[in-house]
Structure 1
Amino acid sequence: ARTTTPTICPAESLGYCLAQLRGGAEPGLGRALLALRTRHIKQPGGIERFRARGGLGPLLGLLAGALRPRRTLDLALSILGNCCTEAGSRAQVRELGGIPSLVMILKSLGVESIYNRTARALGNLAIDVANLRAIHDAGAVPPLVQVLASSQDSECLQSVIRALRNLGATPAHRLALAQQGAVRAISERLAASPDDPALAAAAARALLELTKGCSRDCAEQLSLGGGVAPLVALAGHGKRAVREAAVAALSNLCLQGMLRPAVGNAGGVAVLVGELQRRHGAGAAGAVLQPLVRALCLLCREAMNRSRVREAGGLPLLLALLQDGRQRGCHARVVVAFLAFFYDQEALELLQAGGLVALLVGRLDKEAEGESEDERDAASFDFPPEGRRESGLSLLPSCRRSWLLSEGYITSPGDLSPQWSPDGSLSPTLELQDDPPGPGRLPAGLGSPTCLAPPSLDPALAAPEAPALLLLSRFSQAEDPSRSLVTGPVLRGLLAYVTGAPAPLPRCLRLLHRLTCNPVCLEAFVRCHAPSLLRAWLVLGVAPEEAAAVGHETPRSPGSGHRQGRRFKELGEALLCNLCVQAESAFGAGVLTHMLLSGAEADQVACAMALPLICRKKSLCRKLLLEHSGLRLLLAALTRGADPPFTFYAVDSLSLLLGAAAPLPAPPAPKRCRLAAPPPCPYERLAKAGGADLHFRLDAGAPVPASRQAACAGSDVLRAMLAGGFAEARQALVPIRGVAPAPFLVLTHFLHGCRGEPCPALGGPFPPGEGELAEQTLALAEQFLLPELQELVEAALCRQHLRPGAGPEQLYRLGERLGRGQLLRRCARYVLLGASEEPTSRAAALARILRVTGDPKGLAQELLEVAMETEWGYGTPAARSIRAVGTSH
C-alpha cells in the first residue's frame, strides 16, 4: 500500500504558519497555531524543521508578550510542550530564555488547562540535567506545589506531579523539593485521591523518584502528608508498574528511622516480605533484591517491626538469603539484622533451628563485602538521635516514642506540644558489654526485652566478623548450646578463625571457654571428637587437612608445617583442662559411662578415644577402657578402614594413653676404638685357614665349605644327618636339595658362630627391597630348627624397617605371610610407642600398615596385646581376661 501525505493548502503551509507566528496578528494566528500542532509538528522530523526554521523564538515571544486569548495560549503551550520532547529544542528553549516565561505563566494565570500545558512543558524541559538548575532558579517549584494543592483536574495534577518528579533528578534537587513542600503535596494528593488510578500511578512514580536516598526532610514531609498508608495500598495494585513503584518507594522510606514505625503500622512489613519472597523465589539477581533486603533489614531495628517481621515469615526468608551464594552482597547486612533479635528468645530459637550457627561460623573468615554504611538517620528509631528542634516527642523515652509512632497515635515529630513532658524513668540505652546479659537478667529499669538497644548499634562491632561472633556468643549462653554450637563443622570453623585470623577477636576465645566449661556440652564434645581436634590443632599444631593427609604423603619432619605458637598451645591446653574438669566430675563420669555402655557404636568409639585426653583419673580411665571394653572398641574401629583424620586422632590418643607422647631416646651405640681392627668373621677365618672338613652341595652354585663339628653343634637336624646312621654321616660332600645359595650362606655363617657384626651375612643382610632373602632365611631357619637364627633375622629386619623414613608395612606384611607373631608384635609396638615424636609419623605408619594387612582383626589384636604389655594395663585382672578372650578369638 502506498502512503499518501495529506494535502496542505498554501494557507496552512509551514512558511505561512511561521509568518503568522512572527506577525502575531490574531485573526490568522489561531489558525496557524492549530495547523502547527495538528499537522506540522506531528509529521516525522516536523519538530526539527520547525526549530531549524526559527519557530521557537516567535513561539516563546508569543508566550512572553501581551495577554493572549486562552485558546491561543493553550495552542502555543501545547506546541512548546511537544517541541520540548526533542533534545535540540530543549536546549534552544533554555538558550532563548523561555524558562522564566513559563514560570511567570504559572504564577499569573489561574486556568487549569494553562497549568496543565505549562507543567507538561516544564516536565519535558527538566529531562535535561542542564535545565534543572534554571527551572529551580526561576522559582518554578512553589507555583507547581500551589497548583498541586488547589487544582481538581486529574490531567493537570498528573502533569504537575510528573514535572516535580523530573525536577528531582539529583540529590540536591530532591532535597530542595522536599524543603519546598513538594513531597508533602504529592503525598496529600495521593491520600486524597485513592479512586483515581492514573493519578495514583503518577504519584507513586514521583514518590519513588523523590524518596531516593530519603533525607530527613523528605521523611518529615511524607509523614505529614500521610503518604505511607497509600503507598502500602498501592503495593497491591493490579498494574505491575504501579505495584513495583510503590514497593520501591516503601523500600526507600525505610532508610529513615522515623518512618519505619509508620511503615510497619500500615502493613508495609508484610508487603515487603511478600515481594521479596516472590522475587527471590523467581531467582532474581542480587542487584534486584538489594533494595528490598536493605529495607527489610532496617525494619528489624525497631522492636514493633521485629515482631511483624517474625510473624510475616521474614526470618526464614533472611536465612534463605544468607544461604544463597548469589546474594553474597547482602549477607553482612542480614547478619546485622539478626543481631537486632538479640533478646528475642523466640526468634533466636527459630534462627538456631534454621541453621544460622553454621552460616555464622562460615562467615568468620569472610572479608567485608564493602557495602556502604547506612546514614545516621537510618539508626533504630527506638533510640533516635535528637532532631534539630526540640519537641514534645523528643522528650519521650525511646520505647514509648517508637510505640506511639507505630500505633498511629502520632504521625510526625510536631504532633506533641513542646510543653508536654512524660515520665522519663525508663533508660533509653543499654551499655553493651562483651557478653550481654541473657534472658531473665535484664538491667534494672528495663521491664521488657523490646526496650533494649539492639547490639548492632555498638561501635565495637566495626570488625566484619564481630556481629557473627556476638550472635554466636549469645547462642552459647543458652541452657543447652550443644545442639548447634558443639558440632564438628562449627568447632572447625571457630578454630580456623582463631588460628588463621591475623587478630582474632577475644570474644571467640571466651565463647570456646564458655562451651568447654558447660557440663551439658560434654557429651556433644566427646561425640564429635572435639578433644582430639583441640589437642591436634592447638597443642600439636596439626590442622585437620594435615591429619587427613596422613598416610597419603610423606610425613612432615618435626617442627615443619605451620607453627601455632605458644599462645595457641596454651589455649588448647586450657580448653582440654576445662573438659577434664567436666569429665572427672560425678556428672561427667556418669555421662562417659553411659556413652560407653549404652550409646551407639560411634559414640562408644568416640568416648574411648576421648578418655586418654580428658580423663586424668587412671582408675576411671582403666575401668572404662578395660573393664567396659572401650579399648577393644577403639582398636576395632581403627582397623576397620577408618578415615585418615580418625586414624591420626586414634593413634595420638593411644600413644598418649601408653605414655608415648614423647618416647625416650634410643640408647647410644657403644663407642669403638678407631685404631682397633674389627675381629674377623669366624666362618671366613675357617674358610681361609682351610679347616673345612665338609662341603655342602646345593642345587646351583659352588660347594659350601663347613665344619662338621660346628654344623652338628649348631643344629639338631644337621646333627642327626651328619652324626647319625644316615649316609651323609660318611660323606664329605653332602647334597642339600631345594635350598637357594644366599639364605644357606646366612645359615652357614650362623652355624659357625657368627651372630652379627662384623659378619657380612648377619650384620645387615636384608636391605630394603630384598624381602625375599629374609623370607627364605626365616623359612630355612625353621626347617633346620634354628629359633635363634630366626630371632637374629627378625632383629635385623626390625633395625632396617622400624625406623624413621622406612616402611614398617613391608615388615608387617612379611610377618603376616610367614605367620611370625613376634614380627607383628614389634610392628604394632613401633607404631604405638616408638615410631617418632611426631604424631603424624605414628599415624602414617599405622595407615600404611592398614592398607597392606590382610587381617585387620589380627592387627587389632596385636595392638591390644601391646597395650596390655605396657605398665598401664599389664597384670590387672581385666587385662588378663581381655588377653584370654582375645587369644580365644
Structure 2
Amino acid sequence: MAASPVQGEWKQSRASSREGHPSSPESSLTWCLAHLSRPGSGAEQNGHGKVDSGGGRDLDKRSRVSQWRALVAIRTQHIKGDKAGIARFRTQGGLQPLLDLLKHPDCSRKTLDLALSILANCCTELETRIEVRKLDGINIVVEILKRNVALETVQNRAARALGNLAMDPESSALIHSAGGVPLLLLCVSLSSGPSSPTGAPPKDTCPKLECAQSAARALLYLSDTPSNRLSLLTQGTLSALAPLIAPEYPLGLRRAALKTLHELTRGCGVECAREVSRSGVLAQLGVMASGESGKPFEELALKTLANMCSQGCMRPLVGSLGVIQKFTEEVKRDPLKSGVFLKALCLCCKEAVNRAKVKESGGLEVLMGFLAAHQSHPLSRLAILACVDFVFDESAMEQLQELGLVPLLVTRLVELTRGEEQSVEKMDVSISSNLSPTELLPSSCFESFDFPPPEGCKKEEAAREQGLCSSSFLSLRSWLVSEGLISSEGDLLDSSGVEGEWGSLQIPASSSPQTSSPNPDVLSSLKNTSPFNPTASSSSKKAAQPSPRLLFVLIKNH
C-alpha cells in the first residue's frame, strides 16, 4: 500500500534528520511556525471565493505536508529536552497558531494527536500554562474532548494536557467551570467495566487504559481544594476510580487511581464517607495496606484509610481491616513524620471496638510517648482527648497512670492556669506540606458521629439525650457548675447516660466556686503531691496521684 503524501514527506523528513543534513528547513523554528499556521485541511479558495479544483488542491496538499513536517519537528527537535526549548517556542509566538490549529473543526485525528502532544508537553512549563489559559486554551481542549469521545488517542492526549494545566489553581477552577470533569470521568469509565474472570489481564499499552490513566491524573490535580473535592465526589469520581485499583490493571493506572482516591479522601466529610460506602473500595484498600499488593501501594493505601477516620461511621470499618496496628507502628517509627497516622490513631480511640485494638497494638504507649516528647505539638490536644476516651476502662487507666499520664496532665493544667501560651512546635516538612491546620484538627475530630441527622432533628435528639441522663449524673454536673469546674451544664453532655465512674471523682473542696478556671493553689498542691520522683514505688505513686478523671475534667474546661 502506497504511503500518503503526508506520511511519505514525514518519513523523508525523518530520514534527512538521521543523515544529519544541517540545511533541512525543519531545523529552523521560524520555518516551523510559518508553516504551522497554514490550514491543515480543506481546499484553498481563490480571490473570488471559488474553489480552484486544480492548482488549489495541489497547494492545499503541499500545505498539509509542510504543516505535518513542522509539527513533527517542533515535537522531536524544538521542545524536546529541557524547558528552554518550550520557552523559546512560547516567546516566538508558537502557542497561538497551535491553538488555532486545534480549534479547526476539520483537523484530522493524526494532526490532533500530534498537536495535543505538543501542547501537553509545553504545559509542563509554568509560563506556558499561564499563556494557554489567557488564550482560552482550556475551553479549546475541553471542546476537543467533547468532539472526539470515541477516539482514545485524542482523549488521552487531551486529558494529559488538562492534567498539566490543572497543576495551577486558576486553571483547575476553569476546567471545573468549563465542564471538563464529566468528560474526564467518561475517559475513566472507558476501562472501568467489570473484567472477565477468565480473560487475560489488560495490556499496559492498551489505548483505553492509557486514556484512563491520563484522566485519573488530571482528576488528581482537580482535587486541589475542599470545594473542588466535594464537586468531584458529587459527580461520582470516587466510584468511577475505585475499580481501577484492582490488581488486574497495569501498575501505572492503579497508582494514578490510588493517588486520586487519597486526595479525594483528604479531610473526609460526610459526602466522601457516603461515596466510600457505595463504592466498596475499602476491602481493596485493606489488601493494599497489608502489603499484599507491594510496597508502592502500601503507604498510600494506609494514608487513604487514615483520612477516612475523620468520619465516625467509617472508623469501625477501617479498624476491621487490621490497620490500627500499622497506624501505631508508623507513629512509633517517627511521630513527627506521621501526623496523618497519629490523628487516625487518636480518632480510633472514640469507639469501643477500636479502643480494644489500640490497646492490643501498643497504642497507649505510643500516645504517652508522643505526649511526653511533643507537648507543644498541634496534635497533642487530640492525643489527650484520645486518653479521655479510655476513662471508663479501668485497666487502660491503670496503664496510662503507670506510663506517667498524671504528671503530664498536671503540667498542662499548671501551664493553662498561668495563662502560658503554647508555642507551636516546628513540624516536619512532610506534615506541614500534607496537612493543613484544619485537616490536622477539624472540629469534627472531637466527636464520634455518623451521618448527621437533618437540621430539624437536632433539638429533638438533644432533648432525648438530656432525658437519658441519670439523676446522679445530673446532680454531679450541677455541682461541677456550682464549683466553677465547668462553665455550663452542656459541657458534660457528651458523657450523658453514664454514671457510677464519674461519681468517684474527688473534687477538691478548696476549688473556687466563683470562677470557671481551676484554682492555681489547687493545681500547685496537685503538682506537689504528684509522683515526679522516679524512685518512688509503684504503690506510693498510685496513692499520691490525683484522679486522672478529675484532671481530664479540668483540662476539658480549658
**Residue 482 of structure 2 is aligned to residue 460 of structure 1:** no
Match of 1:93 in 2: 132
5+ residue gaps, structure 1: 398-425, 439-454, 468-472, 479-484, 486-493, 514-523, 535-889
Counterparts of 1:41 and 1:114 in 2: how far apart (Å)?
A: 20
What is the match of residue 252 of structure 1? 307
Q: Aligned runs of 1:599-638 on 2, under 5 Å?
A: none
**Change in CA separation of 1:195 and 1:123 when aligned onto 2, cut-off 3 Å:** closer
Shift, 1:150, TM fit: 1.9
Q: Which residue of 1 aligns with 2:286?
A: 232
Q: Decide which of 30, 34, 58 is 1:19's aligned counterpart.
A: 34
- 1:41 is aligned with what amino acid? I
The one-letter code of the counterpart of 1:31 is R
Matches within 5 A, 1:274-673: 274-280=329-335, 285=336, 288-325=337-374, 328-367=377-416, 374-375=441-442, 377-378=444-445, 380-381=447-448, 385-386=452-453, 431=469, 459-460=490-491, 477=504, 503-505=516-518
User: 2:316 touches 2:354 (CA, 8 Å); kept in 1?
Assistant: yes
Q: SS at the partner of 1:364?
A: helix
- 1:66 aligned counterpart, secondary structure: coil
Letter of the structure 1 residue corresponding to residue 240 of structure 2? A
**Structure with the larger RCO, 1 or 2 (CA within 8 Å, 6+ apart):** 2
- Shift of the 7–310 alpha-carbon distance from structure 1 to 2, 3 Å rule, reads farther
Between the aligned partners of 1:366 and 1:350, the Cα distance in structure 2 is 25
Distance in 2, Cα, partners of 1:70 & 1:188? 30
Pair 1:216 & 2:270 matched: yes
* Distance in structure 2 (CA, Å) of the matches to 1:386 and 1:314: 32
Alignment pair present for 1:144 and 2:184: yes
Which of the pair has more CA radius of gyration? 1
Cα deviation 1:625-673 (Å, max 9, x = unaligned): xxxxxxxxxxxxxxxxxxxxxxxxxxxxxxxxxxxxxxxxxxxxxxxxx
Aligned CA distance change for structure 1 residues 432 and 182 (closer, same or farther; 3 Å): farther
One-letter amino acid of the structure 1 residue matched with residue 225 of structure 2 = T
Aligned to 1:72: 111
1:116 is aligned to 156
> Cα deviation per residue 1:383-439 (whole Å; 9 max; x = unaligned)?
66315799xxx9xx9xxxxxxxxxxxxxxxxxxxxxxxxxxxx9899648896999x
1:181 Cα deviation after fit: 1.7
Which residue is 1:159 aligned to?
Answer: 214
- Alpha-carbon distance, 1:475 to partner: 9.0
Distance 1:97 1:342, change over 3 A: same
Change (3 A) 1:319 1:384: farther
Q: Work out the CA distance in 2 between the residues paired with 1:254 and 1:29.
A: 55
Q: Deviations over 1:700-749 (max 9, x none)?
A: xxxxxxxxxxxxxxxxxxxxxxxxxxxxxxxxxxxxxxxxxxxxxxxxxx
Query: Amino acid of the residue matched to residue 113 of structure 1?
Result: T
Change (3 A) 1:8 1:311: farther
Letter in 2 for 1:77: L
Q: Report the counterpart of residue 549 of structure 2 in structure 1.
A: none
The letter for the 2-side match of 1:385 is P
User: How far, CA to CA, are the matches of 2:85 and 2:449 in structure 1?
Assistant: 59
Q: Which residue of structure 2 aligns with residue 126 of structure 1?
A: 166
Q: In the alignment, which residue of structure 2 is the partner of 1:40?
A: 78
**Alignment check: 8 A CA contact 2:473 2:503 kept:** no
Output the amino acid matched with 1:35: A
Asked if structure 2 preserves the Cα contact closer than 8 Å seen for 1:498 and 1:504, the reply is: no
C-alpha distance in 1 between matches for 2:185 and 2:455: 25
Distance 1:228 1:389, change over 3 A: farther
- 2:176 counterpart letter in structure 1: H
Provide closer, same or farther for how the CA distance between residues 93 and 358 of structure 1 changes in structure 2, counting only shifts above 3 A. Answer: same
Q: Which shifted more, 146-155 or 332-341?
A: 146-155
CA 1:260/1:186 → structure 2, altered by over 3 Å: closer, same or farther?
A: same
Separation in 1, partners of 2:371, 2:342: 11
1:31 paired to 2:86 = no
Instruction: Provide the C-alpha distance between the structure 2 equivalents of 1:253 and 1:63, rounded to a whole number of angstroms.
Output: 42
Distance 2:313 2:236 in 1: 18
Q: Is the 8 A contact 1:193 1:199 kept in 2?
A: no
What per-residue deviation string (whole Å, max 9, x for no partner) do you get for residues 743-771 of structure 1? xxxxxxxxxxxxxxxxxxxxxxxxxxxxx
How far did 1:352 drift? 3.2
State whether residues 10 and 16 of structure 1, in contact with CA within 8 Å, keep that contact through their aligned partners in structure 2: no
Asked if the contact 2:313–2:449 (Cα under 8 Å) also holds between the matched residues in 1, the reply is: no
Seen in structure 2, the aligned counterparts of structure 1 residues 272 and 355 have a Cα distance that, compared at 3 Å, is: same
Measure, in 1, the Cα distance between the counterparts of 2:504 and 2:72. Answer: 81
Q: Which residue of 2 aligns with 1:677?
A: none
* Aligned CA distance change for structure 1 residues 223 and 327 (closer, same or farther; 3 Å): farther
- Give the AA of the match of 2:121: N
What is the root-mean-square deviation in Å for CA atoms of aligned residues?
4.4
Distance 1:76 1:116 in 2: 13
What displacement does 1:235 show? 3.1
Counterpart in 1 of 2:480?
none
Q: 2:24 aligns with which of 10, 13, 16?
A: 10
Q: CA deviation at 1:323?
A: 2.0
CA distance in 2, matches of 1:434, 1:331: 32
Aligned twin of 1:177 = 232
Q: Which segments of 5 or more consecutive residues in structure 2 lack a partner in the other structure?
A: 1-17, 41-62, 193-207, 425-436, 477-485, 527-536, 547-558
Question: What is the aligned residue count?
Answer: 436
Distance 1:32 1:366, change over 3 A: same
Tell me the distance in 1 between the aligned counterparts of 2:360 and 2:266: 28
| CA distance 1:102–1:325, change in 2 (3 Å) | closer
For 2:517 and 2:444, how far apart are their aligned partners in 1? Answer: 31
> CA, structure 1 residues 148+180, in 2 after alignment: closer, same or farther (shift >3 Å)?
same
2:319 aligned partner: 264
Residues 825-867 of structure 1, C-alpha deviations (whole Å, 9 max, x = no match): xxxxxxxxxxxxxxxxxxxxxxxxxxxxxxxxxxxxxxxxxxx
- Pair 69,304 (structure 1): closer, same or farther in 2 beyond 3 Å: same
- Deviation of 1:243 (Å): 3.8
Deviation sequence 1:599-639 (CA, Å, 0-9, x none): xxxxxxxxxxxxxxxxxxxxxxxxxxxxxxxxxxxxxxxxx
Name the TM-score, length of structure 1 as normaliser. Answer: 0.43
The residue that corresponds to 1:849 in the other structure is none
State whether residues 79 and 86 of structure 2, in contact with CA within 8 Å, keep that contact through their aligned partners in structure 1: yes
Whether 2:246 is the aligned partner of 1:206: answer: no
Contact 2:123 2:129 in 1 (8 A): yes
Counterparts in 2 of 1:199 and 1:433: CA distance versus 1, 3 Å: farther
Q: Judge conservation of contact 1:116–1:160 (CA < 8 Å) in 2.
A: yes
State the distance in 1 between where 2:178 and 2:456 align. Answer: 30
1:227 to partner: Cα distance? 2.8
CA drift of 1:98 comes to 1.4
- Summarize the Cα distance change of 1:527–1:262 in structure 2 as closer, same or farther, 3 Å threshold: closer
Identity of aligned residues (%): 36
8 Å contact 1:194–1:200 — kept in the other structure? no
Residue identity in the other structure for 2:360? E
C-alpha deviation, 1:78, in angstroms = 0.5
Change (3 A) 1:198 1:326: farther
Give the letter for the 2:34 counterpart: A
Residues of 2 paired with 1:476 and 1:320: CA distance? 30
Instruction: Tell me how far 1:376 sits from its aligned partner.
Output: 5.5
* Paired residue type of 2:344: A
